[in-house]
Every structure is written in structure tokens, then in C-alpha cells.
Structure 1
Amino acid sequence: MTRLESYHFYERDWESYEQLRESFEWEIPDRFNMAEYVCDRWAEDEDRVALYAESSGGDRRTVTYRDVQRAANRLANYLSEAGVERGERVGICLGQRPEAVVGHVAIWKLNAVSVPLSTQFGPDALSYRLGDCSATACLVGKRSIETLREVREDLDALDTVVTVDETDRPEETDWNIIQEASLTFDRAPTDAEEDAIIIYTSGTTGDPKGVLHAHRLLLGHLPSFGENFLKEGTTDGTVFRTPVEWSWIGSLFSMVMPTLFYGRPVVAYDADRFDPEASFDLVERYGITNWGGPPTALRMMMQVEDPNERWDLTSMRAVGAGGEAVGESVVSWVAETFDGASFEEAYGQTEVNLVVGDCTALRERRHGKMGLAVPGHEVTIVDPETAEPTVEHGEVGEIAVRYADDPVCFVEYWHKPDATDAKVRDGWLLTEDLGTMDEDGYLSFEGRTDDVIITSGYRVSPTEIEETIASHEAVADVGVIGVPDEQRGEVPNAFVVVADGVTADDNLRATLETRVKDRLAPYEYPRRIKFLDELPKTSTGKVRRESLREEFDTDGS
């Protein structure tokens, strides 16, 4: 297999960031399958570690690339025999465990399309996504199996369910049975432009959208990932970890798959919730060198007393964060706690990820800035109305990325051509984020053109929360906004108008909070619910969220 030299630029010495940007060129083979590059090419070395896997219950496994390859070949053979064909969608609803990586690799070997799904999804959220993409199979663990069973009858296309944890139901297949399949699998050739993965958005305007990416997606993430290596000059000895569930592009392709591309190990920690002390344990136990996640997780770790006295944290080289605003207190704490480790901020979204970031080896980090356009990506500020790059330096406009020939850009929204056309205009992919660019090329984030709520690194749709609350018989109308939160960045707040004859009280508040937790996800429930006589509306009948924000500012609730 040909080594793709463009993505090993960290092995060279660079005089400046400008020299690196000017020299970088994309290298995208006509034939490219992610399974080959994140697994098979490393499997000849039977001792090379791919995953250090733990659960919060104390189980520990070391998984090699050869282990992943064999398990993926078996799963690919089973899914093929079960009728999964090229281009069909297969859901993966698992936590941070080796079977999740095996699942993606197996599905890509089949030239099918993987669909990562959060284990925190309730029945409505899970059913919508599996139904929207007409998934024919799904891999699921114990956290989500009951949720899937609840909605399976509504999913006409779903023929095959594989349970990673034991099952005695005839309509489900136990993972252990798959281990009887053949260890070898003949993969058909794959074009770099062929469909590979659908990752769902939060549904910031209406229902969540399926973001379709091709196999080239992985290559589009490598320049940003490679910048982390510049100070060390090599990937030798690196161990990577993200605490974020692997169902999001910000974890799966910002950290997990790029690490495997370079043949290095990832730490997988399967737990119901983030545990800051466990995070320090993992750094010491595995010698983690590179860590990436939301600032929320770092702020929670900052609450742990005397970490340097309790753990050996000297292995850390670089800490990355993105998805929400990063305060300078976080940056300072990282340097003090992790023995001078660099801090690397990154920016992107499901449709176009890791296109802006710090490169502290070659340029200084600037307070309040997200960083610079990553090599290979053309990023600018455009007029939100015309999508033309006419915005002056320092002026607020919409952050946009040149769409053509950029492998990190999405292919389309699944079966939503109008939404795709609105996202890509005049050759620019519009992020719907407002920002500025200074004369030196540093970008800053100023807000959203829509009303997405970014909480603990998750992008949450107010519309999806509103629909869930409004479907309760006690609710006549509802509006949801994001409000500032010191730990999570933002949290959802709801304003509810109750139906005639209904008493607006704390019992109803608790009922509605639980409804959102159960049907969507725990991080989406409104932290405050205020009852109003009526909601402020626009002339077209839409909730006027700005007025709701003024309502919150007035009384803080």
C-alpha cells in the first residue's frame, strides 16, 4: 500500500505556518477505503495495539489491530450473509468499546454506510434516525437494546439486530455467534468518493438531518490532526483519548479514526457519564499524550483538587478542545497541570470538520481566537445574505469554507436536496456560524445564525426539544432557548404555555424534564421551565426567541 506522504508533513521542519500552508497538497487516491487505512494495513504487526479498552466496572482489554481486523472480517461476513448490501445503512449504537470500531471497519469493508448513534437517545430520537436512513441492520449494546426493542416494529427496513451483550431472543443475534464466521473477507474496490458514513445533526431547524460523507472524509481531517505532532516531530509513543461518546464527528473523526490512520492506540473508556477522576487515572495508567474534548470536561477536571499530587500526568503533550467557547483559565490550567502541554483549539461541524485551529508550534495562540485556517482548507467570512466574500477584516459575517476539492466537506444531506442547496452556495459551504477574521488570518466565533444550543460540546436543537415537550397533552405551546452556564457553556431553558384546565406547577415541570430526558437525551432537558400565559411570536407565527432571551435576562429564569 502506498504511503500518503502529504499527511506526514509533521516529519519535516517548517520555517513558518505560511510555508506549511503553501506547500500542502491534498493526496486523495482514486481507490480509497477507510477500513484499509485505519485497520488492515497495520494488522500484519500482530503486537501493534489499537485500543486500550476499559469499562467503568473495571473490565480491561488490550486490543490489537489484528484483533480488530479479524473481528471486522467476521462481522462483515455475517452481515453480508444476512443480506446487507453495498450502500445500505447500518446503525452503530454503542459506547466507547472496541466493538464500535469493529463495526465501522466491517461496514466499510462491505462498502455499506455506517450510522453512529448516541447511546443516550430515547425512543423518538433513535427511531427517527434509523427510519430516516432506512437502516437495514443495527449493532446495539445493553444501554440501548430496550430502547431499540421499543421502536423496532416501526422500522420496516430493519431486518438485522446484533447485540454486543448477550441475548436470548430469536429475532436478535448475539455477538458471540458472529465469532464463528470466517476470519477472511474479500473487500470489493472502493472509490474515495463512495458513500461511507451518515452522521445526524442535532436538527437545529426542523428534524435532524443525515450528513452523508464519503470515504475521503478521513483524509480531510488529517492536516489538523497532524499539526499536533509538529512540536514532537513524530507520532512514536503517542496515546490518544477523547471522553466524548464516539457517535459524533468531533470524537470519531477528530480523534479516533485519525489516530488509527497513523497506527497509534486509542483509549476507550465505556461509562454512563464523564468522571473527571477516572480521566486522570487513565492519563497515568496508559501514558496518554494527546487528549481532546469539550471545554466542559476540562472545567470538570479543574474541580478535582491537587491532581499533580495524586497522579503522574507528565506524559501529556497536547490538549485539544472545541465545540464551545474556551476561556483563558482553561488554557492556563492545562499548562500548569500537564507539565507545559500545548493547548490546541479546533473548529468545525458535522458537515465540515476541523478546518480552523491553533498551530502553536508555528504560530502563537491568541486570546479569544479560534485559530487559523488549517492547511488544505480555504476559510473566509462571507456576507450572510449574499454568500459573497465581501466582508472586511474585523467585521462580522458568516464563516464559510470553499466546497470544491475539499475532502472534509459533506456530500449532501440525506434525501434533502433543498437543504443541501441552501448549505452550499456559490461554491462556499456556509457554516451558519457568525465570526470575524483579522488581518493575520485569525478567526473568532461570534454566535449562530440559527438558534442552536451548544451544551457540553453537544449541538442541541431547540426545535427538537420543543416538539417533544409540545407533544405532551398538558402543553399548549412551548419555546426553547439556550442560556449561559458556567460549567456547560449553555443549557436549554423552556418557556411553556399550559393547556386549558392544567395546573402549572413543579410536578408538571418534573414531568416535562423527564419526558425530554427519556425521549431525546439527558443533556437536552431544560434546566429551567418557566410558565407563561402566551409566547412572543413573529408575524408568521414563529416563536420569537430573542424576546424569550429578553425574558430570561429580565428575571434570570
Structure 2
Amino acid sequence: MQDDFVRRNLPPPEQWPRLLFDGPGLDFPPRLNACLELLDRAVAEGHGERIAVYGQSEAWSYRELQDRVDRLARVLREQLGLVPGNRVLLRGANSPWLAACWLAVWKAGGVAVGSMPLLRAKELRQILQQAQVSHALCAASLHAELELAAADCPTLRQVLLVGDADFEQRLAAASPGFETYDSAADDPSLIAFTSGTTGVPKGCVHAHRDVLAMCEVFPRHCLKPSQDDVFIGTPPLAFTFGLGGLLCFALHARAATVLLESPTPPRLLEAIARHRATICVTSPTGYRQLAALGDRDSLRSLRKCVSAGEALNLATRQQWRAVSDAGMYDGVGGTEMMHIYIASSPEDYREGAVGRVLPGYQARLVDGDMRDVPVGQTGTLAVRGPTGCRYLADERQTRYVRDGWNLTGDTYHADADGYFYYHARVDDMIITSGYNVAGPEVESVLLEHPAVADCAVIGVPDEARGQIVKAFVVLREGFAGDQDLVAQLQDYVKNHAAPYKYPRAIRFVTELPRTETGKLQRFRLKDSP
């Protein structure tokens, strides 16, 4: 017996992107289970006694992680009645147990539905209803909002609170060992809901082979981790950036990962030193925060730093270089595409560019009629490869996929050597007095000013110019947000960029609206006075 709800609610095949599997490591067999490849095979290969995951106060070896995963998979199938294909909501902060929940759902044949810990009942209700979730594995401390949401979600039949007495008793009663569900490579393994930069999340369906594909592209061709690495970072496992960068990449390399429940900058800095972490995974915002607190001594264990989620500008790179010799690995990916498909390593970095398309993917820049734009001109990024967008029962599929290509909604220009230079989201491009202005470009200039700790730039309506450039600025300690500073910042942009790009309006704020993954929510700023 198998629940085929997800397959039945995929877009029709003619709306799918064209999937390509002709890159190294992408020739997947027809039967494939992500848990078997990432965990069971690691133990079988002799890595059982190596540390797989560190938590706040615990460290589990690969064998210990496997035992917990096996018992939890058995609880799901034998005690909670999980049928392969059922959707399982995962709710909790990053921790070894949350990692075990992801793996156990895959091992049991379920479809994992990640949820950010800060989601409220209204947002959880939308996910539960759209995915028709039947089971939930929820941290006991986060149960209240789920309980409120569940009242309107009759499909949710079983809720297991991770960490309470019932959870412990069920695990103790479960026999050790569990035979991994024999899933097809294209069986759905997860539904990742977009992180909300547009305000309306969409459910992105990914298969077991997608999980392995993300491990075979960016890590193989760019990051190149080894079994001696220790991963650490901030993105939640509910976000595919975190699922890959903090769990799957580490297990695929037979390395270790540190999962922090509250990865504030001070706690992250302390944990990097305590665990001698070698690979950090976070957003540009995270690196700016670390750079403000850390120094070369506290960050000396780091060798590689992965940045994604938003544009990594030159100012942030310079701030990071001042405190760390760790190389920066920049990348662009997306929930719809699973993970990173364009990237650069320190050896392949060209100033201002994100990087080049990774082996296994193809990328081009197109106009509104899907025609290639000339080298050097700005166009919309179109991508295809071993992963791609398949929204769950969502009419927006036809906006993201066109002629077999995934249209990411980002604008770039490319040089003759194939390096891609980010401009802005298509819907974030500011048109003022006939000029196109990319908000991230103005942000990059502002961040170089000593008074600016963080900033965001948007376009706001203006009767005379159509739009004007408006900046929201978070100041560093010791600076006053007065008219003199407004004039200074405006002059600074005029002197370091084309004058028409300067912000005609500046508002000083204490913080910027961001998702749990660090992405800036510009749509919320557009509603601000």
C-alpha cells in the first residue's frame, strides 16, 4: 500500500522542467533511498564509530545515529501507522534529533515536510492543509502553535512530541534495526515550502534522487569536503540550504556536523572554536555579524565558508577577510532547484561575480520571449539540470517553468568567460526616471560606509520619477541617524556609483525584516512608511 497524493498533485509532465542527468555522479539507479545512501551506506563502509552529529551537549556516531533513525522509523511505521507516501511535518530547531527525524521519515518511505521553528498557527495551517499532512514529529517546546493549527486540519492523525516521556517510551519499545523502504529514485522525499520572501509560500516537491543530486554537484565540483571536516552554520534544516549544507553534505562526505538550536552570532562563534569547525554555512548577513564579533584567533579553525541565500557583496567579503583566512565559496540556488547551481571557489573567484554554472547544470540569460540576450546585457536567469521546479498543486508552476527551463526570477549579466553577475530580483528592479537600478548594488555601496551595519534598498512610487530609490539603514553603534548622516550617505553613494542610483529617501531602523534563513523580505519594506 502506498499513498500517491503527492504524485497525483504534481504538475502535468508538459509543465515540468527538462531534467538532465549527464553530469558526473548523476547516473542514478532506478531504486534509491536518500537515507540508505547518506547513513546506512556510511556505516556499511566502516564509518560507524566516527562522529556524525554534535548537538548542544551530545555527540552521536554514525552507528548511534543509525540506531535512533531505525527505532524512529519503526515507531512511524509500526506504532503510528505511517504508509509510504504519507506526509510528515517536521517541527523543531536544528538538533541531532531533528536530523534523525528527517532520515527516519525517508527510511520509512514518508515524505518529509519541513517547517521553520518560528512559524505561527496560521502559517502552519496553510502547510498542513496544502500538503495534506497525516503525521507530525514536533519538538515538545513548539507544540502549542501546532496544536492550534491542527484543529482545522483533519488529515493530521498522529502527532509525536520529540523529547517527551511518550516519545522516549515508544523508542525504547521499538526493536533495533529497520529495513529501508525500497523507494524509486523519483519517489517524492520532501516538500520544501518557500521561505516567504514574496509573502506567499509554495510547496516544492523533490525526489530521493534530488537529495543525492545536490550532494553530487556543489560539494563535488566546488566545496570538495572531506571526512575530516566539521560543518557548522545557521540555516534551519527546514530550508533546503540548511538541509544540504548542514546535514546531507556532511553525511555524504562521511564528515561531522554541528547542529545548534539557537545559532546566534555569539553562540555560533563559541561553537566554531569549541568544535574546531572547518566549514561554515550561513548567509552574507551571518558573515557580517560574525566579522563584527570574531577575530583570527576565534575563527582560526575555519577553512571554507559557504555563502548563499542573498547576494554576497564586496563589502562583506572585505569585512570577512579582515578577521578570517577561510576561503569564501559563493553560490546561488533556490528552494525550487533544491540547492546551489552557480558558484565560485576562492580559486575561481572573479570580482563582482557569483560564479559560473556548475557541471550537471545549464544556464542562460533570456528576455521576455525566451531569447538569449547578448553577452554583457542583463537578462532573466534560466536554469536546468538534475533538479527542477515541481510545485504541489499550484498554478504558479507555469510562471516558473517555461520551455523546459526554470526561470528563477533573478536578473544577471554574464561575461564572455561565463561568469554571472547578479543584479536583482525581476520584481525588485527599480525604474527611476527611465534608469534601471538594482537594489543590491546600492546596498553594496552603502555597506562600505563605516556608519552602516546593515541596509536594504527598494523602489517606492513617485509621481515625478515613477519610482525613487529608498534605503532602510541599520546603523553601527555610535552613529546618530540625523539629517547630516542622511546627506553623508547620499553623497557617498553618488561618489561611488552612478549618481542616479543614490537613495533619495533614507529611513533609519533598528533591524530589517528577514526570514529565518537570513533572506531579506523586501515585500514587507514596501508596506513601511
Same fold (TM over 0.5): yes
SS at match of 1:324: coil
Counterparts of 1:97-496 in structure 2, within 5 Å, are 97-166=95-164, 173-202=166-195, 207-222=200-215, 223-229=217-223, 235-271=226-262, 274-304=263-293, 307-309=295-297, 311=298, 313-338=299-324, 340-352=325-337, 353-361=339-347, 363=348, 365-383=349-367, 385-388=368-371, 390-402=372-384, 406-410=385-389, 412-416=390-394, 418-450=395-427, 484-485=472-473
Residue identity in the other structure for 1:426: D
State the number of aligned residues.
Answer: 434
1:477-498, Cα deviation, whole Å (9 max, x unpaired): xxxx99655589xxxxxxxxxx
Is 1:63 paired with 2:60?
A: yes
Q: Which runs of 5+ in 1 are unaligned?
A: 1-21, 55-59, 168-172, 456-461, 463-480, 489-515, 531-544
- Given that residues 357 and 371 in structure 1 are in contact (C-alpha distance below 8 angstroms), is that contact kept between their aligned partners in structure 2? yes
Residue identity in the other structure for 2:39: C
1:449 and 1:237 map into 2 onto residues whose CA distance is 41
Residue identity in the other structure for 1:225: P
2:400 and 2:274 map into 1 onto residues whose CA distance is 44
Q: TM-score, normalised by structure 1?
A: 0.71
SS at match of 1:213: strand
1:527 and 1:382 map into 2 onto residues whose CA distance is 24
2:427 and 2:470 map into 1 onto residues whose CA distance is 12
Q: TM-score, normalised by structure 2?
A: 0.75
Shift of 1:136: 0.5
Q: Which residue of 2 aligns with 1:497?
A: none
Residue identity in the other structure for 1:296: T
1:301 and 1:407 map into 2 onto residues whose CA distance is 34
Shift of 1:529: 9.3
SS at match of 2:427: coil
TM-aligned CA distance change 1:487 to 1:246, over 3 Å: farther
Q: Which residue of 1 aligns with 2:454?
A: none
- Given that residues 71 and 171 in structure 2 are in contact (C-alpha distance below 8 angstroms), is that contact kept between their aligned partners in structure 1? yes
- Given that residues 332 and 343 in structure 2 are in contact (C-alpha distance below 8 angstroms), is that contact kept between their aligned partners in structure 1? yes
Shift of 1:261: 1.1
1:160 and 1:211 map into 2 onto residues whose CA distance is 23
TM-aligned CA distance change 1:413 to 1:300, over 3 Å: same
2:341 and 2:90 map into 1 onto residues whose CA distance is 26
SS at match of 2:90: strand
SS at match of 1:38: helix
Is 1:53 paired with 2:61?
A: no
Q: Which residue of 2 aligns with 1:39?
A: 39
Shift of 1:154: 0.9
TM-aligned CA distance change 1:175 to 1:382, over 3 Å: farther
1:529 and 1:287 map into 2 onto residues whose CA distance is 38
SS at match of 1:407: coil
2:26 and 2:171 map into 1 onto residues whose CA distance is 38
TM-aligned CA distance change 1:118 to 1:262, over 3 Å: same
- Given that residues 109 and 183 in structure 2 are in contact (C-alpha distance below 8 angstroms), is that contact kept between their aligned partners in structure 1? yes
Q: Which residue of 2 aligns with 1:510?
A: none
Shift of 1:101: 1.2
- Given that residues 304 and 326 in structure 2 are in contact (C-alpha distance below 8 angstroms), is that contact kept between their aligned partners in structure 1? yes
SS at match of 1:39: helix
Residue identity in the other structure for 2:27: E
1:191 and 1:484 map into 2 onto residues whose CA distance is 48
Identity across aligned pairs (percent)? 25
- Given that residues 212 and 414 in structure 1 are in contact (C-alpha distance below 8 angstroms), is that contact kept between their aligned partners in structure 2? yes
Q: Which runs of 5+ in 2 are unaligned?
A: 1-21, 430-438, 444-457, 459-468, 477-512
- Given that residues 288 and 320 in structure 2 are in contact (C-alpha distance below 8 angstroms), is that contact kept between their aligned partners in structure 1? no
TM-aligned CA distance change 1:428 to 1:245, over 3 Å: same
Shift of 1:449: 2.1
Shift of 1:204: 5.7
Q: CA RMSD in A?
A: 3.3
- Given that residues 25 and 376 in structure 1 are in contact (C-alpha distance below 8 angstroms), is that contact kept between their aligned partners in structure 2? no
- Given that residues 344 and 359 in structure 1 are in contact (C-alpha distance below 8 angstroms), is that contact kept between their aligned partners in structure 2? yes
- Given that residues 221 and 254 in structure 1 are in contact (C-alpha distance below 8 angstroms), is that contact kept between their aligned partners in structure 2? no
Shift of 1:166: 1.9
Q: Which residue of 1 aligns with 2:506?
A: none
2:387 and 2:520 map into 1 onto residues whose CA distance is 32
- Given that residues 370 and 445 in structure 1 are in contact (C-alpha distance below 8 angstroms), is that contact kept between their aligned partners in structure 2? yes
Shift of 1:302: 1.9
Residue identity in the other structure for 1:115: V
TM-aligned CA distance change 1:254 to 1:482, over 3 Å: farther
TM-aligned CA distance change 1:23 to 1:216, over 3 Å: closer
Shift of 1:25: 6.0
TM-aligned CA distance change 1:522 to 1:245, over 3 Å: closer
1:175-205, Cα deviation, whole Å (9 max, x unpaired): 4422321112122322111110000014566
- Given that residues 435 and 447 in structure 1 are in contact (C-alpha distance below 8 angstroms), is that contact kept between their aligned partners in structure 2? yes
1:113 and 1:302 map into 2 onto residues whose CA distance is 38
2:354 and 2:309 map into 1 onto residues whose CA distance is 11
SS at match of 2:113: strand
TM-aligned CA distance change 1:135 to 1:451, over 3 Å: farther
Residue identity in the other structure for 2:157: D
1:76 and 1:27 map into 2 onto residues whose CA distance is 28
TM-aligned CA distance change 1:427 to 1:28, over 3 Å: same
Shift of 1:65: 1.3
